[in-house]
Amino acid sequence: MWRSENARSLYISDLDGEPNSSTKQKILDIIECIDIPIILTSSSTSMEECELYLNQGVHRVAICRFAINHEDDVKYLISKYTPSRINFYAIVQDNYITYWGENTNITLEEYIEKIQLLGGTRLIYGDVEWIGNMKYANLSKIEKVLNIFEGKVTLFCGVPDYLGFQKLNDLKNNRLDSIILSKSLYENNFPCQNLWRMAEIL
């Protein structure tokens, strides 16, 4: 299905993050049955679990809590798997990093400074202002991230329809290189998808 929708990769969020949970086996099963690259956002704080997913075929693992609390382990993973495969994510609320609902006292600026010192070159960025509610991403917030983070940025949600793409194009910054879509994709909110549906009927 994702191939037919021209998806470049499949994004999975592991909100459990426990080494012995049933979620781990489900992720490994997904790796086995699809043929497009997988980007896994993990709430795990286990270096061994990150290595397991990477060795089993996950294209990129994106971390946050692990990056804050285990600097030496993160540096080791980056040196072994390269910054291209060890990514970072920032889910933000009121300019503070949040672990999927668990708030922290770490500002976005502090977090970005930290991950760049660790050697991070790819960041997945989203804000609770637009995540999961079909709202357009706040361009000024995205521009702020692009101004302080020197690597590639993937936007998490914030594009409910084609107009959302047009708005992002106004930023004219090629370091914003990809977007993670969810509900808007499954609801066929983009003109090209209508053509694909017609082609499927024919």
pLDDT in tens, 177-189: 999 988 887 777 7
- Give pLDDT, residue 198: 44
> Which range (2-11, 42-51, 55-64, 110-119) has the least confidence?
2-11
CA dist list (Å): 84 to 18, 70, 103, 180 = 24, 19, 27, 17
Pick the more confident residue, 2 or 158.
158
> Which range (85-89, 94-98, 163-167) has the least confidence?
163-167
- Give pLDDT, residue 8: 78
- Give pLDDT, residue 201: 47
- Give pLDDT, residue 72: 95
Is the pLDDT reported for residue 93 higher than 70?
Answer: yes
Pick the more confident residue, 165 or 20.
165
Report yes or no: 48 and 20 within 8 Å, Cβ to Cβ: no
Nearest to 48 by CA among 26, 18, 23: 18
Q: Is 199 helix (H, G, I), strand (E, B) or coil?
A: helix
Copy the structure tokens of residue 202: 């024919």
pLDDT in tens, 96-108: 999 877 899 999 9
Its pTM stands at 0.89
CA dist list (Å): 196 to 2, 39, 163, 166 = 12, 25, 19, 21
For the chain, list the domains and their CATH numbers.
10-201 (3.20.20.70)
Distance, CA of 124 to CA of 156 (rounded, Å) = 6
Distance, CA of 176 to CA of 171 (rounded, Å) = 9
